[in-house]
Amino acid sequence: MSEKLQAIRGMNDILPTQIAHWQRLEATAQRLLNGYGFGEIRLPLIEKTELFARSIGAATDIVEKEMYTFDDRNGDSLSLRPEGTASVVRAGIQQGLLHNTICKFWYSGPMFRHERPQKGRYRQFHQIGAECFGLAGPAIDAELILFTAQLWQELGLQGLELQINSLGDRQSRINFKAALVEYLQDYRDQLDADSLRRLETNPLRILDSKNAQTQSLLIKAPSLLDYIDTESRDHFETLKSLLDQQQLLYRVNDRLVRGLDYYNRTVFEWITTELGAQGTVCAGGRYDGLVEQLGGRATPAVGFAMGEERLVELLLQVGEAPKPTHLTFIGFDDQALPTLLKLAQQCRHQLLDHRIEIDYQGGNMGKKLNRANKTGVDIVVIIGGDELAEQTATVKFLREKRPQTTISQSQLVEFLET
């Protein structure tokens, strides 16, 4: 017997029974993003591997060991996108969208990373992201953060912590990196294999090591904020005061460095303690050098992306997603079908937020009513022999305490609207 086919580890089916929170998250984010002036952009799932190596960074975990990379039939190295920012920048340059103008894009969809799957960490996951090009000042950083705060509020999510940091400019990071490496060299014998490797390839990433011993070594390590350049410091101070004035709480975390190389100045993450180890639900920052690095003209940029699986998990903890009123039409036999279809169509045109179905399955009226009850139907519209003859419809409320009522078919929509 052949082996049962299974989905790939870390890649999930999302079933209709689970979809309500996804749709609410996406619809709310979409409405808000459009309202803040972001335009949706849809991009390929596959890009040249080089795009990600040159943007996210060749020495990052993502590019070093997490990408789904393959040669296509022409021998080009391609990768499934591990994130969206690189593609947005590529498209912006390629389509000539970024010159001397302000561009705001949002996107959503699946991303792919070959990480070790666990709760909140998958190999195919979904992001909703936003990127803004052409604004160098800290006000837009603040606005993006305020956007995310508004989204949490509209979704009823509480208890998320905002952490912010500044990475300074390139030179300040080089200076800080040198100071950090010098400090850690004295403790080489206490570092785990991963940190020892990063000491050579990407020392800043040691700052977010999960190893307790490494973390205790870092307490006395130099702080990034002591190394940042004056302009970046001013940028960061203004950002903080803008957030203060909007009464948005945050914590400055000088260890927050992010796992992608393209950032400078502002970086931020929204973190929850409700999801265990994978608590970052949204992350982003400034990447003023990336457009030029990928061949465009120097263009300041800032953005973020949120993890939909993690947000949906939080929404599930908050409670059930609201369900639309569920209406089912039942008829005594096939003779009622034309009337059922006619009435159902009338209702579908008018009662747009209802779920409206016709019971096509067999059985007598009792059986059909039972089925409606069991499947969570709220209202049943019955067309029996009498109703068919008299052009009426009987409405039965299965959840509400309202009397069963027989009305003329022409008044059905109006009756159901009240």
User: Which residues bind to ligand HAM, rule: CB under 6 A?
Assistant: 83-85, 113, 115, 120-122, 125, 127, 129, 131, 259-260, 280-285, 303-307, 309-310
283 - beta bridge partners?
A: 269, 305
| CA 309/CA 53 separation, integer angstroms | 26
Burial of 24 from C-beta contacts in 10 A (0-12 / 13-18 / 19+): middle
Q: Is the Cβ of residue 129 or residue 300 nearer to ligand HAM in the bound state? A: 129
What is d(CA 275, CA 240) in angstroms, rounded to the nearest whole number? 27
Kindly state the smallest distance separating residue 258's Cβ from ligand HAM, in Å. Answer: 6
Return the structure tokens found at 225. Answer: 């904020």
- Which of residues 141 and 169 has its CB atom nearest to ligand HAM in the complex? 141
Residue placing its CB nearer to ligand HAM in the complex, 262 or 329? 262
Residue pair 45/81 in contact (Cβ under 8 Å)? The answer is: yes
Q: Which residues pair with 103 in a beta bridge?
A: 133
Q: Which is nearer to ligand HAM, 285 or 289 (CB)?
A: 285
* Cβ nearer to ligand HAM, comparing 259 with 384: 259
What would the two tokens of residue 187 be? 């403790």
CA-based nearest residue to 265, from 299, 301, 235:
235
Cβ-based nearer residue to ligand HAM, 109 or 259: 259
Nearer to ligand HAM, 204 or 282 (CB): 282
Q: How far is the CB of 322 from ligand HAM (least distance, A)?
A: 25
Considering the complex, what minimum distance in angstroms separates the CB of residue 38 from ligand HAM?
12
Output the smallest distance, CB 287 to ligand HAM, in A. Answer: 6
Least separation in angstroms between residue 109's CB and ligand HAM is 12
From residue 312, give the alpha-carbon distance in Å to each of 275, 316, 320: 11, 6, 11
Reference 196, options 208, 185, 182, 212; nearest CA is 185
CB 55, CB 84: distance < 8 Å = no
Nearer to ligand HAM (CB atom), residue 125 or residue 152: 125
* Nearest in space to 148 (alpha carbons), one of 160, 166, 132, 136: 160
Quick one: 29 or 260, whose CB is closer to ligand HAM?
A: 260
Q: Which residues contact 16 (CB under 8 A, 6 or more apart)?
A: none
List, in sequence order, every residue forming a beta bridge with 109; answer none if it has no partner: 127
Q: Residue 177 CB, nearest distance to ligand HAM (Å)? A: 20
In terms of Cβ atoms closer than 10 Å to its own Cβ (0-12, 13-18, 19+), residue 401 is: exposed
Q: Which residue's structure tokens are 């800043």?
A: 204
Compare residues 124 and 406 and give the one whose CB is closer to ligand HAM.
Answer: 124
What is the number of the residue whose Cβ is closest to ligand HAM?
307
Bin 164: left if φ > 0, else alpha if -120 < ψ < 50, else beta: beta
Min dist. Cβ of residue 289 to ligand HAM (A): 13
* Structure tokens, 177: 């990196």
Considering the complex, what minimum distance in angstroms separates the CB of residue 218 from ligand HAM?
20
- Block residue for tokens 């350049």: 229
- Minimum gap (Å) between residue 361 Cβ and ligand HAM: 40
CB of 345 to ligand HAM, least distance (A): 42
Nearest-angstrom CA–CA distance, 183 and 385: 88
